[in-house]
A = this chain, B = another copy of it.
Amino acid sequence: MKLKEQFNQKGLRITKQRQIVMEVVEKHKGRHLSSSEIFELVKENYSGIGLATIYRTLPLLEKMKLLSKICLDDGCVRYEPYAPKEQEHHHLICVKCGAVYEVEADLLGIEEKQIIMNNHFSTQNYMVKLYGYCKTCAEEDVV
């Protein structure tokens, strides 16, 4: 496995805790788990885990591009398995009910990317979040 090398290169160690955190997030692909949700799920397999370890592990796995951090503006940081470029997906966040939907599409056209390039911004691995109203909420509210 290349993972081991990736860790060793940086003097990092592969621990049981780190492995289980990875497993849990991968198992729940499609969800957007908060740190404390991950804590609860990890405890099911490894009851001795400490919350501090969760908070230390998640940013580390993010830096290693094993997880992606997402902020859905609900007051906590969330994580999902890292998606390579080809499987990039974006989030539609309903500002009313908070529901989160995913769109698996490259939402930026070539022209738009050009605009960003012109700003000297390299959007390798970008992420788009759209705020709006989901079907249900759009019908209720006549905004």
Contacts and interface: CB of A to CB of B under 8 A. Distances in A.
A133 B138 contact: no
A69 to B, nearest CB: 7
Contact of A124 (B73, B109, B133): B133
A53 B103 CA distance: 38
Copy count, this protein chain: 2
Interface residues of A, number: 35
A128 to B, nearest CB: 5
A26 to B, nearest CB: 22
Interface in A87-143: 92, 94, 101, 103, 105, 107-109, 111-112, 115-116, 119-135, 138, 143
A64 interface: no
A12 to B, nearest CB: 19
